[in-house]
Chains A and B, each alone.
Chain A
Amino acid sequence: MGDIEAKTEKTVPTYCYNCVAGPDLLTVKVTGGVAVSIEPNYAATALDLPCGKPCVKAYGLIQKTYSPHRTLTPMKRTNPRKGVDQDPGFVPISWEEALDTITGKLTDIRACGMIDAQGLPRVAVTFGNGGTPASYMGTFPAFLAALGPVDFSFGSGQGVKCVHSEHLYGEYWHRAFTVSADTPLVNYIVSFGANVEVTGGVSAVARHAAARVRGVKRVHVEPHLSITGACSAQWIPIKPKTDAAFMFAMLHVLLFEHPRERLDVAYLRDRTASPYLIGPHGFYLRDAASRKPLVWDRRTDCAVVFDTPDVEPVLEGAFEVPVALEIGPDNYTWRHHGVGGTTEFTKLIDHLRPYTAQWAEKVCDVPAGTIRQVANQYLDEACVGQTIEIEGETLPLRPVAVTLGKTVNNGWGGYQCCWARTMLAVLVGALETPGGSVGTTVRINRPHENRLKSVKPGPDGFMYNALNPTDPERWVAQPTGRNAHRSLVPLVLNTGWSQSLGPVPLAWLFQRDKPEGWPEPTLPELWFVYRANPAVSFWDSRKLSETMARMPFVVCFAYTHDETNHMADILLPEATDLESLQLIRMGGTKFIEQFYEREGFVLRQPAVRPRGETRDFTWIATEFARRTGLMEAYLTKINRGAGIETPLVGNGYDFSLNPAKAPTVDEIWDAACKAATAGLSGGREVKDLAWFREHGFYTTEFRRLDWYLYPTMVKMGLRFELPYQERIMRSGLELENRLHEQGVHWWDEQLKEYAAFPAWDDLPGRWEKALVHAGKRPEDYPFWLLTTKSMQYTAGGNVGSQLMHEVSENVRGHAGVILNSKVAESMGIGADDLIEVCSQSASTCGRAILVRGIRPDTLLLVGQFDHWATPYAKDLNAPSLNTVSPMLLELVDATGSVADTVRVAIRKVGGKGIFARLRARSGRKPEQQKLGPAGVA
């Protein structure tokens, strides 16, 4: 360290994007070249940007930088045998050797062709943490794009740890990859396990706190009293996986226990397909000439196409239509003369008729009166008929919302819950209107930066939604990725994020258990892993490790040794958060509660020198490109915006890089800074890298009106494709035809999900059936094991952080098994006893944490632990649901997701003494230095 650096003190603006709720803006205080402190970025808080304060995770970045456990040089494996029980024998090597080895492999692969004989990519890539790696891996996406087709099938928790069904159905129905309450305006929220105080980021925490103070009521429905439950006005402990029944009963109350005019009849008539007529085969009755759907016109008392000028569609009823068509799967057409047609809305009423509050009481173990109370309050607070003026435009004000959490809308039941939630909004006109339920980003459709621009008029009066084709000519029979997303999941489409959102468990499952009639899946010849640890963060984690051990060549970008890179052949140490350079987007509407009145770009920049031999990711990507001879293609991709979030050429500006010359890291990001600001300001302002280094971020106004899709739908004359799912049903029938033509019947159960209206089908019973199929007795596994996220850890890749461990110990449940205190007493289990949690396939151990705020039939584990390789974390002795959750095809739903729960048994295996010894071994010292009398609460 030079003398000047030793004496200097500086404050460096940068960002944290350690979870999907980022970026959080912050400043790093650097003294003598050492990062010593983290604070909010007060320039951003002055702009009223809640993201100007980082959450707890960011304060761990200093420890992350200086951790003695970091991998600081490239390493290679010396033990050719791979396995959990094998020492990899990692030894340091030079960057030259590491890069030559990797690019040599890539060059050989390219020479053979990027696609193998089975039609699968020879290179696979796994990124973790809900897309956060993109905010850290610089221009690596541009290199991958230049390389050619790669397989993103091997997930690290996608479909299990996210809100998967919401991603697919939400985006289909209202361009909502993530859905949020319009928190600044909402008055009543029914939250089914949506722990926004933990996973919604700084914006969610700040906005909901403000909402509580202004009197907003939130009802939290979840089997345990989570942090969001704690911060809610009412907690309803519901039986796991019965949320759909609760919502069906709410719909029933709205439809059967109140006059129709209490609903938003105009919204239903004009903005949804409720008046469309359904024929005897379950498909739209269509005009024979135009093939457009028909509605019954009150004015003329006859069936007319839905977009007839001055039409007054009738919402309810059944009508005789003289001539009409129905179009079924594979274009099969029925031509009707004198056919009965029933409106979607009437069919909806018929469908929901059995789902009374009394029926739901038995299913959910929640009193019918409570369900009615929630439904009635929801309707009372919906303010049907009220309006609000936003930026000069008058819009409906519907301040009610229903939000869904992870295990509620993943796996079986996801379709039911997403549909019911969306219908609860639709019935009162609260979908995409101020105060109601709003989508906050798109990932399957484009452009990602503005979901409103992804809306285009499509057939039948709806916005355009492409499904993966299921017709005989275009269906992709031969999977192009190992999770077969194009072949099995029409809703997931085939854009940049689609493969990662496909039926991710299948990629792992099929490697050890290929189903009948399905092509043999090969292993990728080279597997890249970054900011992901599927050996811990996915289900059946020990068996996944066995598959990873068979991967022929694995390259892991490694912060420390971990359970996945234990199987690596090469470890590459990248410069981390406080050491590296990247520009990303911020603001606008982006993930869960990250919708703002400003949008722009923020720079991550080196506050301190990279430690050891770590290298900036953009430098690594550029070296890959140079050494594989892909520099021109790589730079062309960058010029188009790959990896840098903005094209370098736009209207009135051109900062494109010369494809003939390898640029430096700074040159790439300097161009990105200029293009980003020129693009955002319409060419009025151009800020370079030096400007961003000083100021940190650049924003312009984002219209609040653009938080809502409703004005766009009105402007384009479009309807939400609800309530009836005619197209999804048709797509499922076609997919069934294709799969059966191939002799594939193992997806039949999933095909049943393609129903026009989702029905209740004993969702909890599916887990009991899985036990029976495994030769077990359900009564021997009486508990539902659930998991919940932790703000200190979620998606942070920081499980080895002492600071996070320390502060997380203040929040109950970390590193233990939460169970009901009365149940524990009846089983002779005391606080801190060591207990074993056994599923049909494995067991995990942890100390008993006894609470009153959990159902007697439920156990809860916080976070994802059970590490055996990651330094520090491996000594936490923390249990994990992932260890005991079997990965079973029968628990995968039609979208390819799995609910994060498993049936288990528990037994006491040791008293407090055993746990105290374990804790002592971990070096954990809670209460050690807190002096004085006990208890202040």
Chain B
Amino acid sequence: MTRYVMVADLRRCVGCQTCTAACKVANATPPWVQWRWVLDVEYGEYPDVWRAFVPVGCQHCANPPCLEVCPSGTTWQRGDGIVAINYDRCIGCSYCAVACPYQARYKVDGAEYAYDGSPMEVERAREDPRRLGVSTKCDFCADRIDQGKSRGLIPGQDPEATPVCVNSCIANTLYFGDLKDPQSAVSRLLRENQSFRMHEELGTEPGFYYLWEKK
């Protein structure tokens, strides 16, 4: 039994958006579609003000509201906990996007390019018509995980089997791994630190944990 989760150590994050850019490049998402991004939030009153950076994206919930509302069986949950999308089945109704409390879903109806409405060579090379008119989101780089595992690599430990946002993080904020494996880095970090999950009150059981202080 495997449960892949992401852990973000908020003490480390500097909001640099390297994970955002790395995800966009690796997954060739269209302009302004960000499967991983970092919030820049402020709280308090001058002069006692604080600012924090919070990586967000699909939380890969154990009880995903997006799955529940999907009328076509497009959104499905893998045995390892990853919430995935079968583009071929999606009818583009966006129920999932409305249901998601984490603003994780995107839908792009027509091809969009970075400059002037026509594709660059790289955009031409990476166009994927299957992703037009359908719901898209972070899938924890599931293909990368699967390919890595097929080569005997360990997700969260070997970069070739780990989501690109984790690999790219220059502050070592992001960790990925199997929550069911007590030896994994994510399990150790959760044991040693205080953590929370976003909107836990909704009962979604997110697979995305935020560390903020040592226990």
Contacts and interface: CB of A to CB of B under 8 A. Distances in A.
A and B associate: yes
A930 interface: yes
Interface string B1-29: 00000000101111111101110111010
Interface string A209-244: 110110000000000010101110001010000000
A802 B164 contact: no
Interface string A901-935: 00000000000000000000000011011111110
Interface in B154-197: 159-160, 164, 167-173
A38 B115 CA distance: 20
A872 B31 CA distance: 14
B25 A229 contact: no
A231 B50 CA distance: 9
B121 A34 contact: yes
Contacts of A806: 24, 31-32, 34
A853 to B, nearest CB: 4
Interface string B38-62: 1111101111011111101000000
Contacts of A34: 121-122, 125
A798 to B, nearest CB: 11
A238 to B, nearest CB: 10
Q: Is the interface on chain B under 10, 10 to 19, 20 to 34, or 35 or more residues?
A: 35 or more
Given A68-B115, A209-B11, A933-B98, A820 B46 contact: yes
A792 B17 contact: yes
B149 to A, nearest CB: 17
A56 interface: yes
A36 B120 CA distance: 11
Contacts of B103: 930-934, 936
A720 to B, nearest CB: 33
A791 B126 CA distance: 27
Contacts of B33: 929
A935 to B, nearest CB: 8
B44 A925 contact: no
Given A230-B52, A932-B105, A936-B198, A213 B12 contact: yes
B11 A213 contact: yes
B125 A32 contact: yes
B37 interface: yes
Nearest to A56: B18
B21 A40 contact: no
Contact of B9 (A213, A792, A851): A213
A68 B40 contact: no
A39 B164 contact: yes
B148 interface: no
Contact of B54 (A853, A928, A937): A937
A810 B39 contact: yes
B131 to A, nearest CB: 12
Given A802-B115, A852-B42, A811 B125 contact: no
B106 interface: yes
Interface string B115-153: 110101111011000000000000000000000000000
Contacts of B98: 931-933
A230 B51 contact: yes
Contact of B37 (A210, A810, A820, A934): A810
A872 B120 CA distance: 15
Which of B16, B98, B121 has the most chain A CB atoms closer than 10 A to its own CB? B16
Given A925-B31, A930-B106, A59 B54 contact: no
Contacts of A69: 115
Which of A38, A63, A930 has the most chain B CB atoms closer than 10 A to its own CB? A930
Given A213-B9, A225-B42, A937-B39, A932 B116 contact: no
Which of B44, B97, B115 has the most chain A CB atoms closer than 10 A to its own CB? B115
B171 to A, nearest CB: 4
Contacts of B115: 67-69, 802, 872
Interface residues of A, number: 72
A808 to B, nearest CB: 7
B40 A810 contact: yes
A37 B26 CA distance: 6
A62 B101 contact: no
B118 A68 contact: yes
A931 B105 CA distance: 6
Contacts of B34: 806-807, 810, 930
A210 B106 CA distance: 34
Contact of A209 (B101, B123, B173): B173
A676 to B, nearest CB: 27
Nearest to B211: A213
Contacts of B32: 806, 925-926, 928-929
A206 B171 contact: yes
Given A36-B126, A66-B122, A928-B32, A227 B15 contact: yes
A63 B114 contact: yes
A69 B169 CA distance: 30
A677 B131 CA distance: 48
A198 B9 CA distance: 19
Interface in A526-546: none
Contact of A225 (B9, B18, B22, B49): B49
A230 B20 CA distance: 19
Which of A38, A806, A929 has the most chain B CB atoms closer than 10 A to its own CB? A929
A74 to B, nearest CB: 22
A38 B99 CA distance: 33
A297 interface: no
A69 B198 CA distance: 42
B94 interface: yes
Given A31-B125, A803-B114, A811 B40 contact: yes
Contact of A929 (B39, B56, B106, B118): B106
Nearest to B11: A212
A197 to B, nearest CB: 4
Nearest to B158: A42
A197 B102 CA distance: 27
A456 B120 CA distance: 55
A209 B12 contact: yes
A209 B12 CA distance: 5
Given A209-B172, A810-B37, A937-B41, A38 B22 contact: yes
B70 interface: no
B36 to A, nearest CB: 10
A776 B37 CA distance: 46
B38 to A, nearest CB: 6
Contacts of B49: 225, 235, 851-853
B104 interface: yes
A141 B41 CA distance: 45
A38 B18 contact: no
Contact of B31 (A62, A802, A820): A802
B45 to A, nearest CB: 6
Given A227-B14, A851-B42, A937-B39, A40 B25 contact: no
Interface string A256-270: 000000000000000
27 contacts: A38-B25, A53-B167, A56-B18, A56-B21, A59-B24, A59-B25, A197-B16, A202-B170, A209-B9, A209-B11, A210-B172, A212-B11, A213-B11, A225-B50, A227-B15, A227-B51, A802-B31, A802-B114, A810-B40, A851-B49, A852-B49, A853-B42, A930-B103, A931-B100, A932-B102, A932-B103, A934-B103
Interface of B: 9, 11-18, 20-22, 24-26, 28, 31-34, 37-42, 44-47, 49-54, 56, 94, 97-108, 114-116, 118, 120-123, 125-126, 159-160, 164, 167-173, 198-199
Interface of A: 31-32, 34-40, 42, 45, 50, 53-56, 59-60, 62-63, 65-69, 197-198, 202, 205-206, 209-210, 212-213, 225, 227, 229-231, 235, 237, 791-792, 802-804, 806-808, 810-812, 820, 822, 851-856, 872, 925-926, 928-934, 936-937
Given A40-B159, A55-B16, A62-B122, 9 more contacts: A209-B14, A213-B11, A803-B24, A812-B40, A852-B49, A929-B106, A930-B106, A932-B102, A934-B103
The 9 A-B residue pairs whose C-beta atoms are closest, nearest first, are A931-B97, A230-B51, A59-B21, A209-B12, A802-B114, A66-B120, A853-B49, A209-B171, A807-B17
